[in-house]
Amino acid sequence: MSIWKEDTLLAREVTVNLGPRSYPICIGDALLPETGWLVSHVRLTGRVMVVTNPTVGKLYGEVVRGSLEKAGFTVVWAEIPDGEEFKTLDTASLLYDTAFQNNLDRWSAVIALGGGVVGDVAGFVAATYMRGVPFIQVPTTLLAQVDSSVGGKVAVNHPKGKNIIGAFYQPRLVIADTGTLKSLPPRELKAGMAEVIKYGVIKDAAFFSWLEKNLDRVLALDNAALQQVVEVSCRIKAEVVEADETEQGMRQILNFGHTVGHALESLTNYEVYRHGEAVAIGMVAAARIAVAMGLLPAEEFERLRNLVVRCGLPEAVPDGIDPKLLWTYLHCDKKARGRKVVFVLPRAIGQVIVCDNVVPEVFKQVVR
């Protein structure tokens, strides 16, 4: 689908079909100046609270605020500090204060302008302030455009674990302006690519082949290639979320690479890896396990490993990490069922299974 403003093609559209909670994801390379127009088209008016951080606010605050005001919105501006360490209940609490002091009511929308951290906290506030107010995602990192802004997972961290306090709360609208990716530090772009590769492996062999051919264009920030990446990724994520919104079964496949990835992040205190980097290592580890268990042909493993390496992403658990310790960390994951560790393992590019019988010996041998 496409979105037209008068005679100008503004954006491509992917719809997340969830009955009364369905919503459009608008994808284009110059959408921020149209934020107000797009928000008013999902029948919102009045007061909105934009949540961002100083990094993104400095780059894109003026254009977003200007566009919302031009469309008649009263804008409340709320900046939270930049960084995963601020994805906390304390930050959420400050946002509740700002919302309350500025008379946000149950019809006022919360708009997240930023990466996954801003999106997760702002979404958590939208889900809980006055038992839920309309929520809009304006993701500005590749990871947020292809993953965290879609599907309704919102959360803050708890000292005992990441994303422990949260909800499923779908946005009303996602505005993914791929033009914002031009200012992204290269490391963040590469980290986002891990989630993009994930979609090819879990569900779309043709997309994976397209990435193999077009990776250089994507990394060079070619407009058409970036929009293709965001559109296909969002379409795959939407299909999975539509089938299993609250992760009772199929949605688990989105966690490919995340079992080892989350354990590595946690073991290194979230200080060493970007989320996507840890996921890249986790995807290669899961694929190695699949080869060791006779599930995945070695050539398919090599294709995955090559693409990860070509993106400039790490592919191996570093030498300093003790496989035994990593195995114990796997049990602390939200995805662990009882004492069983759940892995998503590829059987081919484009096809995965959920598996809870990986034995520690195979894991340790593979990680070593």
When the beta carbons of 50 and 174 are compared against ligand GLY, the nearer one is 174
Backbone angles phi, psi at 99, to 5 degrees: -60, -45
When the beta carbons of 57 and 282 are compared against ligand GLY, the nearer one is 282
Is 172 among the catalytic positions? no
Is 158 among the catalytic positions? no
Task: Please spell the DSSP secondary structure of 71-111, one letter per residue.
Answer: TT-EEEEEE--SSGGG-SHHHHHHHHHHHHHTT--TTPEEE
**Nearest residue to 12 (alpha-carbon basis) of 238, 178, 221, 134:** 178
- In the complex, the smallest distance separating the C-beta of residue 205 from ligand NAD, rounded to whole angstroms, is 23
Task: Please spell the DSSP secondary structure of 291-343, one letter per residue.
Answer: HHTT-S-HHHHHHHHHHHHHTT---S--TTS-HHHHHHHHTTSTT-BTTBPPE
For residues 75-114, which are near ligand GLY according to CB under 6 A? none
**Nearest residue to 211 (alpha-carbon basis) of 185, 239, 236:** 236
Query: Which residues are CB-contacts of 240 (< 8 A; sequence separation ≥ 6)?
Result: 151, 203, 250, 251, 253, 254
Are 42 and 35 in contact by the 8 Å Cβ rule? The answer is no
Is 41 among the catalytic positions? no
Backbone angles phi, psi at 346, to 5 degrees: -75, 140
CB-based closest residue to ligand NAD = 116
For residues 136-165, which are near ligand GLY according to CB under 6 A? 147, 151, 153
CA distance 24 to 38: 10
- In the complex, the smallest distance separating the C-beta of residue 240 from ligand GLY, rounded to whole angstroms, is 8
Choose, from 195, 265, 277, 300, the residue flagged as catalytic. 195
* Binding residues for ligand NAD, total number by CB under 6 A: 28
Is 237 among the catalytic positions? yes
Residue 125 is given by DSSP the state H
For residues 251-270, which are near ligand GLY according to CB under 6 A? 251, 254
**Number of Cβ within a 10 Å radius of residue 320:** 6
For residues 146-205, which are near ligand NAD according to CB under 6 A? 147-148, 151, 153, 163, 180, 183-184, 188, 191
Choose, from 65, 87, 153, 235, the residue flagged as catalytic. 153
> What binding mask, one character per residue, do residues 71-110 give for ligand NAD by CB under 6 A, x or -?
-----------x-x--x-----------------------
Are 23 and 172 in contact by the 8 Å Cβ rule? The answer is yes
Choose, from 275, 288, 303, 335, the residue flagged as catalytic. 275
Is 195 among the catalytic positions? yes
- In the complex, the smallest distance separating the C-beta of residue 5 from ligand NAD, rounded to whole angstroms, is 23
123 binds ligand GLY, rule: CB under 6 A: no
Is 331 among the catalytic positions? no
When the beta carbons of 180 and 228 are compared against ligand NAD, the nearer one is 180
- Collapsing DSSP to helix, strand or coil, 27 comes out as strand
- In the complex, the smallest distance separating the C-beta of residue 303 from ligand GLY, rounded to whole angstroms, is 23
Please give the radius of gyration of the chain, using alpha carbons only, rounded to the nearest integer.
Answer: 20
For residues 39-68, which are near ligand NAD according to CB under 6 A? 53, 55-56, 59
Residue 165 is given by DSSP the state E
Alpha helices in 129-269 (DSSP H): 142-143, 186-203, 205-219, 223-243, 258-267
CA distance 261 to 160: 17
Is 255 among the catalytic positions? yes
Residues that bind ligand NAD (CB under 6 A): 53, 55-56, 59, 82, 84, 87, 114-118, 120, 140-141, 143-144, 147-148, 151, 153, 163, 180, 183-184, 188, 191, 275
Active site residues: 131, 153, 195, 237, 247, 251, 255, 258, 262, 275
Residues that bind ligand GLY (CB under 6 A): 147, 151, 153, 251, 254
